[in-house]
Amino acid sequence: MSSDFGGEATAVAEDVPAGRVPAGDVAEQPAPRPRRCGIGWAQRLEIALLSGPAILMFLGFVILPVLMAAYYGFYRWKGFGAPTDFVGLDNYLTILRDSSFHDALLHNGLIVVLSLVLQGPIALALALLLNRRMRGQSVIRVLIFVPYVIAEVIVGTAWSLLLQVEGAVNGVLEAIGLGGLTADWLADPKLAIWTLMLVLTWKYVGFAVILFLAGMQNIPEELSEAAAVDGASYWQTQRRITLPLLGPTVRIWAFLSIIGALQLFDLVYIIWGQYVASTAGTSTMATYLVTEGRNAGNYGYGNAVAVVLFLISMIIALVYQRFVLRRDTEGALTGGR
Amino acid sequence: MAPSRTLAVAAVLALSTVGLAACGGDDDDAGGTVSMELWENATTGPGKAFWEKAAADFQAAHPNVKIKIQAVQNEDLDGKLQTALNSGAAPDIFLQRGGGKMAAMVEAGQLKDITADISAETRQAVPEAALKTGQIDGKAYAVPVAILPGGFWYSKELFQKAGVTPPTTLDELTSAASKLKANGTPIALGAKDAWPAAHWYYFFALRACSQATLEAAAKSKTFDDPCWTKAGADLKAFADTKPFNEGFLTTSAQQGAGSSAGLVANHKASMELMGAWNPGVIASLTKDTKPLPDLGFFPFPAVPGGQGDPAAVMGGADGYSCSAQAPKECADFLNYILTKDVQEAYYRGFNALPVNKAAQGAVTEDYLKAVLDAYNKAPYVSQWLDTVYGQNVGNALNVSIVDLLAGKGDVAAIIKAVTDAAKKG
């Protein structure tokens, strides 16, 4: 899983400071940036002018909608005209009591954990494989990365057609004499979540591989050379040098993956539709939001769900930043405190 | 560089808001021209041509009126309309789907009350039952342009192959379905979209519940009459005979050859329970994108032991509304599109049943004649239940009926879900 922060992630991955290395010297920590103080008004004006438009866009299209959602969440509102029916915290109480929301939350949790557990090892293995000179390397890279580049809608539509009861997957199984393995991949509640994980892994593992490869490129050659001189085997080198030094990259990837999994919507909505998802056990908080908000015409309630989803993602993000990413981002984000 | 660029951006933003502000309907009462904006959902082909011609003809007859047509993709229409209505820049004339959404618009003061503007000719030409679809508490906020009753769309050829005739009772339907399924042509159901599955429950409810019960529930939003449970039990008993296509839970209704309409179009399924828009959808999914030559229609069969009239019909009506700020010419235009000639053109453009009784004579397709026959014989016509009870209850029905068909929920869960939802909205 991932979200749209790929650009930032690679930027972070490029200048990751090295962690602890048992052998050899340590890559230098970047010096903490000097505190900005006493800049002249001309500079301030320049900063304001240059960043102004971006900040305005951000305020208008990110911050304002968030505040509006928080406001609408206190109303029972059908979406036409101004909201008038103030219900206080009623919407939130309903959400917390609704068993469909509990289901969605549970599925989200499963998707978060399974994304990490499935994609992490696979992506690491592939990255290690691709990190050495070999024939057809670029072809394999492209094959792994292509699913990540294809639009979610196309991926979802294609998989939903393939996985129909009368679809190609069952057709192929029949044709090669494995008719006993055919199943209702999408609607069977025992299978559906695994089907979803298969599609998610197929789609997003490429993103993780690219991140890990970028991280590996940043590990100085000298380290593995030194290890080789000391008589370390390939596996020892990978285990004691590459993987530890890849830590920051893995942690950033896990962060993006968790946030993406929490907000998963498009693939579920396209493959399962808006109602079968809850029956098959693949509904997420975001699909619940659309079903109970937009489809029911309860826009106040839907906004309250959006606020809950926002708070959950926010809390998890902050906790993760504080406790997991702290070492990696020291000096960059936390001001060195 | 930077300051001038910022200024440029600011200027563009400012200009664009000015531009947006100029999008509202201009109501020019100073004897000059009146311009109106019309939003409709046909973006291509004969449907779009119909609106262009209707607007041009109306302008020719009223030289002071100018109608700007905006064709909006059907799936985008509701959202765009909601935004436009809330921002105070609503189109003057627009497609109205009725029901709970219309009630919300009325409550927000966004629709024009056109009760007094509906002409005597219109009242004479359009049946009262159809006009009622645009009314709330006896006041008219929309007029219907087409009636879209629901029933079974079937393939005559496949019925013949299986040796069955259009069933008139539930028992006949059950045995016909099992024969057809044995032939590899089951009943098509697009439950991925949920509402086609919910329609099955609506029809069982139409047979189980009396007209009075259906209407009373619209006001009281209580569903404790035993007939609601009976409808659920009837649906469950029917679904247990496994009459639907394999994988119906993940079959969509209208998208592609694998959808339920596509299965009918390609003779992979024998019939589908659907509204009267279905012939057009099926035609768009046949191999040559031409109407299915052997398409037939029969109404939902009688179900024993219910309070509802076995000949009652359920269906919707597409209508048009005037927004609150629209000029008075808007209502004139609505009367105009209900006149006989325009209605006949509407039928030809959309392949849908016109509401004007005189225009109904122009209908030639025998399946549409069968629909008209059922419609005109019906003792009463109920709107789609999700239209009557609002999106909120409709959504709860969607959820619980998909659960029922998937074997996850039971009949009692339907009633509970609907009751809970009614409290929410």
Task: List pLDDT tens digits, range B126-183.
Answer: 988 888 888 888 899 999 999 889 999 999 999 999 999 999 999 999 999 999 999 9
Is the domain of B328 the same as that of B207? Answer: no
Which of the two residues, B219 and A172, has the higher pLDDT score?
Answer: A172
Is the domain of B127 the same as that of B248? Answer: no
Of B333, B348, B373, the residue at which a domain comes to its end is B373
Q: Cα-flanking dihedrals φ and ψ of residue A27, to 5°?
A: -60, 145
Q: What's the pLDDT score for residue B172?
A: 96
Q: What's the pLDDT score for residue B277?
A: 87
Is the domain of B310 the same as that of B332? Answer: no
Q: For residue B371, is pLDDT > 60? A: yes
Are B214 and B382 spatial neighbours (Cβ–Cβ below 8 Å)? yes
Q: For residue B17, is pLDDT > 80? A: no
Angstrom CA distances, B405 to A79, A277, B194, B239, stand at 31, 14, 10, 7
Quick check: A186 and B104 CB within 8 A?
no
Place of tokens 């709330």: B136
Q: For residue B420, is pLDDT > 60? A: yes
Of the given ranges (A180-184, B39-43, B186-190), which has the lowest mean pLDDT?
A180-184
Is the domain of B392 the same as that of B414? Answer: yes
Residues above pLDDT 90, as percent of chain B? 62
Q: Is B61 on the interface with A (CB under 8 A)?
A: no
Q: Does B235 fall in a domain?
A: yes
Quick check: A275 and B194 CB within 8 A?
yes
Is the domain of B129 the same as that of B142? Answer: yes
Angstrom CA distances, A99 to A95, B281, B402, stand at 8, 37, 16
Q: For residue B28, is pLDDT > 70? A: no
**Residue in chain A lying closest to B408 (CA):** A279
Is the domain of B154 the same as that of B136? Answer: no
Q: Is B78 on the interface with A (CB under 8 A)?
A: no
Q: What's the pLDDT score for residue B79?
A: 85
Q: What's the pLDDT score for residue A331?
A: 53
Quick check: B406 and A78 CB within 8 A?
no
Please name the amino acid found at residue B31: G
Q: Does B4 fall in a domain?
A: no
Q: Report which of B66, B100, B101, B69 is spatially closest to residue B85, judged by C-alpha positions.
A: B101
Residues above pLDDT 70, as percent of chain B? 92
Report, at the CATH architecture level, how domain A108-280 is classified: Orthogonal Bundle (1.10)
Q: Report which of B315, B305, B313 is spatially closest to residue B208, judged by C-alpha positions.
A: B305
Q: Could you state, in chain order, the average pLDDT of each consecutive group of 10 residues for chain A (337 residues)?
A: 40 38 43 60 89 93 93 89 86 90 94 94 90 80 88 92 88 87 87 94 93 88 85 82 87 93 93 87 93 89 94 93 78 46
Q: Report which of B277, B383, B358, B325 is spatially closest to residue B35, judged by C-alpha positions.
A: B325
Structural Rg of chain A based on CA atoms? 24
CA angle B392, B236, A98 (to 5 degrees): 35
Q: How far apart are CA B356 and CA B338, in angstroms?
A: 6
Structure tokens that stand for A247 in this block: 């830590």
What residue numbers bound the domain in which B334 lies? Answer: 35-148+316-373
Specify the number of domains making up chain B.
2
Are A206 and A145 spatial neighbours (Cβ–Cβ below 8 Å)? yes
**Residue in chain B lying closest to A295 (CA):** B395
Name the residue ranges covered by the structural domains of chain A.
Answer: 108-280
- Average pLDDT on B36-54 reads 90
Q: What's the pLDDT score for residue B26?
A: 45
Place of tokens 């959820």: B399
Q: Cα-flanking dihedrals φ and ψ of residue A153, to 5°?
A: -65, -40
- Give A171's contacts (C-beta < 8 A, 6+ positions apart): none
CB atoms under 10 Å from CB of A44, counted, come to 10
Is the domain of B102 the same as that of B163? Answer: no
| Residue A61: exposure state from Cβ atoms within 10 A (0-12, 13-18, ≥19) | exposed
Distance from CA of B173 to the nearest CA of A (A): 25
Q: How far apart are CA B32 and CA B27, in angstroms?
A: 10
- Average pLDDT on B44-63 reads 91
- Average pLDDT on B240-254 reads 92
Helices (H), chain A: 6-14, 41-58, 64-72, 90-97, 99-130, 137-149, 152-162, 168-175, 192-217, 221-229, 234-237, 243-262, 266-280, 285-289, 299-323, 326-329
pTM of the model: 0.81
Q: B81 to chain A: which residues are within 8 Å by CB?
A: none
Model confidence band, residue B65 (pLDDT cutoffs 50, 70, 90): very high
Is the domain of B169 the same as that of B95? Answer: no
Q: Does B46 fall in a domain?
A: yes
Q: What's the pLDDT score for residue B1?
A: 38
Is the domain of B195 the same as that of B306? Answer: yes
Q: What's the pLDDT score for residue B281?
A: 87
Q: What's the pLDDT score for residue A37?
A: 57
Q: How far apart are CA B360 and CA B340, in angstroms?
A: 9
Q: B247 to chain A: which residues are within 8 Å by CB?
A: 164-167, 184, 186-187
Q: Report which of B288, B286, B248 is spatially closest to residue B267, judged by C-alpha positions.
A: B286
Q: For residue B11, is pLDDT > 80? A: no
User: Which of B:384-413 have CB within 8 Å of A?
Assistant: 390-392, 394-396, 398-399, 402-403, 406, 408
Q: For residue B52, is pLDDT > 90? A: yes
Task: List pLDDT tens digits, range B89-129.
Answer: 899 999 998 877 888 899 889 999 999 999 999 999 998 88
Q: What does the mean pLDDT of chain B come to?
A: 88
- Average pLDDT on B13-34 reads 48
Distance from CA of A147 to the nearest CA of B (A): 23
Q: Is B2 on the interface with A (CB under 8 A)?
A: yes
Option in B2, B395, B398 nearest A46 (CB): B2
Q: Residue B143 sits in a domain of what CATH number?
A: 3.40.190.10
Q: What's the pLDDT score for residue B383?
A: 87
Distance from CA of B117 to the nearest CA of A (A): 25
DSSP per-residue letters across A119-139: HHHHHHHHHHHHTS--TTHHH
Sign of the CA dihedral B402, B408, B410, B414? negative
